[in-house]
Structure 1
Amino acid sequence: MFSIPGLIRKKRDRKTFSREEIEFFIQELVKEKGGAVQDCQLGAMLMAIFLNGMTLEETSWLTRAMRDSGEVLSWPLEWKGCVVDKHSTGGVGDKVSLPLAPALAACGMKVPMISGRGLGHTGGTLDKLESIPGFQVMIASSDMLEILEKVGCCIVGQTNTLVPSDRIMYATRDVTSTVDSVPLIVGSIVSKKAAEGLDALVLDIKVGKGSYTKNVEEGRKLGGLMVSSCESMGIKTVALLTNMDSPLGKTIGNSLEVQEALDCLRGQGPGDLKELVVNLGAHLLYAAQHVSTVSAGKLKMEDVISSGAALEKFCAMLKAQGVAEEVAEQLCQKQGNTSNILASSHNVTPLNSVGEGWVADIDALKLAEVSGELGAGRKKAGDKINFAVGIQLLVQVGDRIERGKPWVEIHHDEPLGENQLNKVQAALKVENEPVSRLLVLDIVTSQSA
């Protein structure tokens, strides 16, 4: 018979858990009445895991036990091989989910994308979508099925019945400084994706100054663990390590990023955003065996964007998730004007470049910190987000910039402080020679994990 203190002692002493011990701990954690795991014991266990780690086998068992702690979604048999999703470890200006989900739906896939809210610099995917008037993120499983049948994609929040163990553990990880534990990160992310009943998954592992993972080596380690854990549960998985030294696209902030995502779906907007959407989609189509090569997947993704099919799917998803028909159609017009629909800030302040040459770097972390201070993100769960504020870049890495010309616009409601202006200005690095930016840094598959 296991005991909670005994399990804490075992991991404290750097010993390895059995599958049964991990299952016991998770089952006790989620008991509705009389659960044996006290708050202090959960904190002690999380710290023991943080300090002493877990083996790959332990991590897989933890992930499976967390998945099975609540509802596991199931889909019609005729969808077998078509149910797919994407997960990003989070970055600055990362609005990829908004164009990617409808583009995949336009390719014939079913995308039950369960996303989260932002905590820190900028809003999460759900926050961005909630900047669209009427958009509903809390959708019951039965309604998800109906939306997927009609549209092919939905982007929703985590329900109370889905992976309840993660909700309990994450709240304690946040207040015990154990968020950065790799086994706990893998367990949290993969258990939720596994509970979606996926056939295939693409992981976007952000690497660089604007992400949790600071270098390619760390990214390979995290990607390898996540790929192995997913594959152990029958989910065909590939991970792309992508550059997050500079922001993705040209916008940071909720309404601004929705506008840019719509531009991407129109075949417009920044090239790096479209490039990443196409790459992630192509690798996912290949992993799901819906194309014979990644190159064929790229052609398919580019076609559904250029033809307008992906934009039509996005419009249908908006309507299915509560947006009024006239609002959705106005947003999704080929030459859409969103100024009277999406929130806009009271003030827009441009900053001019003090140097001249080629843009060598735009520090994603510095801009994200200022965007968060403006109100685009949260300092703690429950904080209200200002959808209107954020930062819009007028240049990207590799562009030529002249001294005295504006390179960024700050969208704000409150007066800007000198520290904020200085931090934004310090984010820009200009050099005398042209610089290029590699977007996809590496790819991790089950063979390389």
Structure 2
Amino acid sequence: MAHDAVQLIKHKRDGGALDDDQIRWLIRAYTAGEVAEEQMSAMAMAIFFNGLDAAELATWTTAMIETGERLDFSSLSRPTADKHSTGGVGDKITLPLAPLVAACGVAVPQLSGRGLGHTGGTLDKLESVPGWRADLSTAEMITQLEDVGAVVCAAGSGLAPADKKLYALRDVTATVESIPLIASSIMSKKIAEGTGALVLDVKVGTGAFMTSVEDARTLARTMVGLGTDAGVRTVALLTDMSTPLGRTAGNALEVRESVEVLAGGGPSDVVELTLALAREMVAAAGRDEVDPADALADGRAMDVWRRMVRAQGGDPDAPLPTARHTHTVPAPADGVVTRVDAMAVGLAAWRLGAGRARKEDPVQAGAGVELHAQLGERVRAGDPLLTLHTDDEHRVERALEVLAAGVEVGEEAPAPRTVVLERIAS
């Protein structure tokens, strides 16, 4: 049955609830081009201000899934688990996490995306590995999951095509921050992906979508509810994104740091969060008897990483790209690093060429920011504090502008950082 888009917009604008049939028609008609972009823009703004109740949100998410295909991993010999992060600065966790969880006997179908603005994209990072390719067919993905145990690749256009269209619309109509629209966007793709278990890494802080714990908690609970109701074992961790994860923000820089983690080293915060998420994924997949820390320590995770990279055409032994220019910022005084703002570092990396302003923009593989000291660490005047990497020397000045107020050295050490803030389950 056809509906009148204008009447549905008016009804939602005035605080009414849409019924199941209205929502399904709207999503189908918009995906097919029968509802105009300006009409869906108006509906997105009405939802931004008036929200969706639980019943509306469940139907909205299901309707988005129904516009495309669903993947089926039931033929695999091991259980499946996936992780989704809401995005942050230096958030390289997928790179060590996917092979680590696979080394514990769980298949990890990690469908990832590209960076936009100050947040980095997993596919951009992995594409700095010579030869590695992001685009796999469904058959290739399933074969690799069976043979290797982990795959990180681009989501196919057949998964929730309504979301791709609606996400682009939200990006240009100032409706990105709507919790119901964020939750349905993420969960429509993850449910359609067909994984048996899902662990959500919901970032909180200056470098995250959600800057307050309250908003992050609401988003996490909403997504956990949608996943659980769809039959996916779903758990969320709220994690700190007020300061960058690890010591690098940039594509090849973050790959290098991820390999250090897999080799048994790397920054303690990256190791801590990788293990916390791995334990949640392994438990949700029913493999509680395995401790991911053992698979990290004995080299099994590194073995899977190398096989995973090779399976997608990459050379794990090839040198990673480096930027043509570097600029080192010295510590201004003796003291302790009291502030490293995640947003400032993310914007600096973006200005250096590591990120993009539009989805079609290229990125520099070697560009980014390297932190020689993390929050709470002691430095001496003149010691290297940051190194900026870029292929275009003229970009350095603009990166330094945004970092000037984002990195501070003082006398009093800040409170110890807590990476995992809260756990949310159904």
Correspondence for 1:338? none
- The 3 A distance-change label for structure 1 pair 411 and 29 is same
The code of the aligned residue for 2:347 comes to E
Q: Tell me by how many angstroms 1:47 deviates.
A: 1.4
The code of the aligned residue for 1:410 comes to L
Correspondence for 1:193? 190
Summarize the alignment of residues 121-136 of structure 1 with structure 2, pairs less than 5 Å apart: 121-136=118-133
Correspondence for 1:395? 373
Correspondence for 2:424? 444
Aligned partners of 1:355, 1:208: CA distance in 2, in Å?
A: 27
Q: Is the 8 A contact 2:91 2:120 kept in 1?
A: no
Aligned partners of 1:434, 1:46: CA distance in 2, in Å?
A: 44
Q: Tell me by how many angstroms 1:78 deviates.
A: 5.6
The code of the aligned residue for 2:337 comes to V
The RMSD of aligned alpha carbons is 1.5
Corresponding residue SS for 1:15 = coil
Summarize the alignment of residues 24-423 of structure 1 with structure 2, pairs less than 5 Å apart: 24-31=25-32, 35-77=33-75, 79=77, 82-291=79-288, 300-323=291-314, 327-328=315-316, 330=317, 341-415=319-393, 416-423=395-402
Aligned partners of 1:75, 1:231: CA distance in 2, in Å?
A: 18
Aligned partners of 1:119, 1:418: CA distance in 2, in Å?
A: 21
Residue range with higher mean Cα deviation, 244-253 or 433-442: 433-442
Corresponding residue SS for 1:144 = helix
Corresponding residue SS for 1:426 = coil
Q: Tell me by how many angstroms 1:5 deviates.
A: 2.1
Corresponding residue SS for 2:353 = helix
Aligned partners of 1:122, 1:233: CA distance in 2, in Å?
A: 29
Q: Tell me by how many angstroms 1:77 deviates.
A: 4.9
The code of the aligned residue for 1:358 comes to V
- The 3 A distance-change label for structure 1 pair 56 and 404 is same
Residue range with higher mean Cα deviation, 428-437 or 199-208: 428-437
Q: Tell me by how many angstroms 1:430 deviates.
A: 2.6
Deviations 1:117-158 (A, max 9, x none): 111024300111111121111111111111111011101112
Corresponding residue SS for 1:430 = strand
Correspondence for 1:13? 14
Deviations 1:279-335 (A, max 9, x none): 01111222233216xxxx6xx111111111111111111111122xxx22x25xxxx
**Structure 1 unmatched ranges of 5 or more:** 332-340
Aligned partners of 1:170, 1:425: CA distance in 2, in Å?
A: 33
Corresponding residue SS for 2:422 = strand
Q: Is the 8 A contact 1:120 1:377 kept in 2?
A: yes
Aligned partners of 1:345, 1:229: CA distance in 2, in Å?
A: 43
Aligned partners of 1:108, 1:350: CA distance in 2, in Å?
A: 43
- The 3 A distance-change label for structure 1 pair 41 and 342 is same
Q: Which runs of 4+ in 1 moved over 6 A?
A: none
Q: Is the 8 A contact 2:89 2:120 kept in 1?
A: no
Aligned partners of 1:316, 1:251: CA distance in 2, in Å?
A: 24
Q: Tell me by how many angstroms 1:91 deviates.
A: 0.3
Correspondence for 1:335? none
Corresponding residue SS for 2:237 = strand
Q: Tell me by how many angstroms 1:79 deviates.
A: 4.5
Q: Is the 8 A contact 2:128 2:320 kept in 1?
A: yes
Residue range with higher mean Cα deviation, 410-419 or 184-193: 410-419
The code of the aligned residue for 1:9 comes to K
Corresponding residue SS for 2:90 = coil
Deviations 1:100-123 (A, max 9, x none): 011111111111111111110243
TM-score normalised by length of structure 1: 0.91
TM-score normalised by length of structure 2: 0.96
Correspondence for 2:23? 22
Deviations 1:36-83 (A, max 9, x none): 211221211111111211112211211111112101001235657x11
Aligned partners of 1:227, 1:76: CA distance in 2, in Å?
A: 22
Aligned partners of 1:106, 1:78: CA distance in 2, in Å?
A: 15
Q: Is the 8 A contact 2:12 2:46 kept in 1?
A: yes
Aligned partners of 1:156, 1:126: CA distance in 2, in Å?
A: 7
Deviations 1:344-374 (A, max 9, x none): 0112211111132222221111111111111
Q: Tell me by how many angstroms 1:217 deviates.
A: 1.2
Aligned partners of 1:20, 1:109: CA distance in 2, in Å?
A: 38
Identity %: 41
Aligned partners of 1:146, 1:78: CA distance in 2, in Å?
A: 9
Q: Tell me by how many angstroms 1:417 deviates.
A: 4.8
Deviations 1:148-172 (A, max 9, x none): 1101110111211111101111111
Q: Tell me by how many angstroms 1:419 deviates.
A: 4.6
Aligned partners of 2:97, 2:351: CA distance in 1, in Å?
A: 29
The code of the aligned residue for 2:295 comes to V
- What is the number of equivalent residue pairs in this alignment? 423
Aligned partners of 1:209, 1:26: CA distance in 2, in Å?
A: 33
- The 3 A distance-change label for structure 1 pair 429 and 193 is same
